[in-house]
Amino acid sequence: MERVRKIIHFDMDCFFAAVEIRDNPELRGKPVVIGGDPKSRGVVSTASYEARAYGIRSAMPSARAFALCPHAVFIRGSFSKYREASRQIREIFANYTDLIEPVSIDEAYLDVTGNQDFKYASQIAKQIQRDIFELTQLTGSAGVASNKLLAKIASDMNKPNGLTVVRPEHAEAFMGPLSLRKIPGIGPAAEEKLRKNGLKLCTDVWGYDPGALREAFGERMATWLQKRSRGVDSREVQTSRARKSLGTERTFAKDIYDLEMLREVVRKLSLEVSAGLAKKELLGRTITLKIKYADFQQITRSKSLGDLTNSSEVVRDTALELLGVHPAQEKSIRLLGVTVSNFEEREEKKSKAAVFLEKQICFEFLN
């Protein structure tokens, strides 16, 4: 029997705002908004819970936040402080496991299956919360479950300073009543399409005719929905050291011959991969295109670049170049995949990733 894994998803509570409030206690209890100047075209990075009560949310224009709550305290924020707190929490995670997958500046998955010091993963999560508070005076919330999907959803259920455990035998009961939108990967567009097909909650997928689901969403998405809606997720926690490549692929409902359609798929896949690289703070050198023909013959074409990249344009243009002018050799194609590999070394990574993240956040502030 496969060993049940113990996964913790940890996410800090209103992270940037919490750091600012910690360093300026006068802000405690007030609506605090971190982000761009409300008089500029800036956007909100995050907001304290008091500000969220007014409807203020991440990525909203700061001017709109100001209109919702003119007496909120607006702070531009100081990225170096957030970076330092992020480093501190990662150091604490490392005391409990080597298998850490940082997802963003304030969030990570931990696989603690191998930790022999604690009987239950929930004890580790609690101890991490205590350690973090002691070192940084900040709080975070944890989800404990047998896979990443359940742990991620659970960590968001009892914010702030929450701990939610989903036992393996309760996975379906946990997922059933949840909105499909709670499943990471389902954004506003997918939610809308699901809703049009009468699908709102996870249980709606369970009761949906599998053939009709495939018809409406394609085989890949249908299978994915069936699994996720029941809390099934076999993705492993991937440390950036362990990870050798990052890619995505698409099997088509109908084989495709048309070059422009194939190019469109390559563009989409490239965008997904580069978004994944950015999220995981990875930079790669080699782009690979995988082609599976209608007769199941499979080939890969690769190109290595002079520079490390996570740029969506570079990944896309390289993948399109690999697709070529007439890739099908007179044959239709049933699957395309785009993968980036040959990641930077760890030391090289630290500084570049920091620069990238800083740029990303500044971009968010400035836009």
CA–CA dist 17, 57 (Å, integer): 12
Whose CA is closest to 143, among 127, 157, 132, 129? 157
Q: One symbol per residue from 279 to 318: x for binding ligand TTP (CB under 6 A), - otherwise; what is it?
A: ----------------------------------------
C-beta of 90 vs 241, nearer to ligand TTP: 90
CA–CA dist 296, 129 (Å, integer): 50
The verdict on 11 binding Mg ion (CB under 5 A) reads: yes
C-beta of 19 vs 124, nearer to ligand TTP: 19
Q: Which of 107, 111, 233, 272 binds ligand TTP (CB under 6 A)?
A: 107
Angstrom CA distances, 258 to 233, 271, 325, 326, stand at 34, 20, 11, 9
Q: Quick one: tokens of 172?
A: 């379906």
Whose CA is closest to 128, among 161, 156, 81? 161
H or E segment and range at residue 352: helix 346-366
Q: Which of 6, 8, 9, 12 binds Mg ion (CB under 5 A)?
A: 12
The verdict on 361 binding ligand TTP (CB under 6 A) reads: yes
Q: How far is the CB of 362 from ligand TTP (least distance, A)?
A: 10
Residue 359's CB is within 10 A of a number of other CB atoms, namely 10
Is residue 107 among the annotated active site residues? yes
C-beta of 106 vs 111, nearer to Mg ion: 106
Q: How far is the CB of 109 from Mg ion (least distance, A)?
A: 14
The verdict on 106 binding Mg ion (CB under 5 A) reads: yes
Q: Which of 20, 101, 107, 272 is catalytic?
A: 107
Q: What 3 state SS string does 267-326 have?
A: HHHHHHHHHHHHHCCCCEEEEEEEEEECCCCEEEEEEEEEEEECCHHHHHHHHHHHHCCC
Whose CA is closest to 106, among 34, 168, 167, 51? 34
According to CB under 5 A, which residues from 316 to 355 bind Mg ion? none
The verdict on 45 binding ligand TTP (CB under 6 A) reads: yes
Q: How far is the CB of 92 from Mg ion (least distance, A)?
A: 16
The verdict on 33 binding ligand TTP (CB under 6 A) reads: no
Whose CA is closest to 238, among 70, 89, 98, 76? 98
C-beta of 15 vs 365, nearer to Mg ion: 15
Catalytic residues: 107
Q: Where along the sequence are the contacts to ligand TTP (CB under 6 A)?
A: 11-16, 45-46, 58-59, 105-107, 159, 361, 364
